[in-house]
Structure 1
Amino acid sequence: MKLFPLHIIIKDLSFLMLYFLIMKFNLTNETFLPETTKYFSGVSQANIVDMLMAALFYNFIPIIISCILYYPIVLLGRKIFNRKNNLQVLSTAFLLSITTPIIYIFGYKMELDTMNKAEIISWILTFVISVSIYYLSNRIIYQNY
């Protein structure tokens, strides 16, 4: 459970930050589509601070929910695995990382069949970043004596 506030902030803000960066630089050629400009018309002119403020605004509720769920999920991981090992750390990281997409799907009524490429790429990268950060900050380092 080391660095858990940092993990929560990174896991919950990284989706929108990555999405805004992909859209800002038009990496998927979706920035100027009509449905994109309808909701995020100024994303190509946004700076990092604007993106961060928008991510904080849209993710305030997921951050609060993550803070509430974090400790019970870690305790669940400890109860399932009697000893702390790398499998326990990875499975806990997976459970903690999946909470944000679940909040988006059920809380914000996100439609999975109409997601654009930028959203899919952002979710994949967010999941990888979240699991990696949790694992690297909590992994078991074996020492040979």
Structure 2
Amino acid sequence: MTISKGDKLPVVDLVKATAEGPQKVSSAEFFAGRKVALFAVPGAFTPTCSAKHLPGYVDHAADLKAKGVDEIACTAVNDAFVMNAWKESNSAGDITMLADGSADFAKALGLDADFSAYGMGTRSNRYSMIVDDGVVSEINVEGPGEFSVSNAETMLGQL
């Protein structure tokens, strides 16, 4: 079942890079008590993700925060080291990268996708959502190969 507006996020461990190395973070703890603009990409360093998706959130980070977002986070089926390298290479200091290395979060949301035809295995669909205290208040899921509703501009219009 795919997560919908009004649903509580599933409790899954994600991983973020820290100065001390990879650190597990529970989705329940990460999203508790605040408003998070979350977006997901099929993979760090992939064409649309690197040329359009992440840069849009970097460019609009201050605008999102001005509209009440406490944190902007990105997730992908990559490890924390790759996510951190992608963050650094895109000067995305305002974005928290959440690695979903085994696609557990994507699967729990019902937003996993089979990218085997491209040699990438199980990945996440491209989407964005606004999460208020662990509950989805807005969700925007892209169709295969599309990039029109999960961008930062759409999210700004929903806040």
Same-fold status (TM-score > 0.5):
no
* Larger radius of gyration between Structure 1 and Structure 2: 1
Please state which structure has a larger fraction of its residues in strand: 2
What is the TM-score when the length of structure 2 is the normalising length?
0.26
Structure having the higher helix fraction is: 1
Greater relative contact order (CA < 8 Å, ≥ 6 in sequence): 1
TM-score (norm 1): 0.28
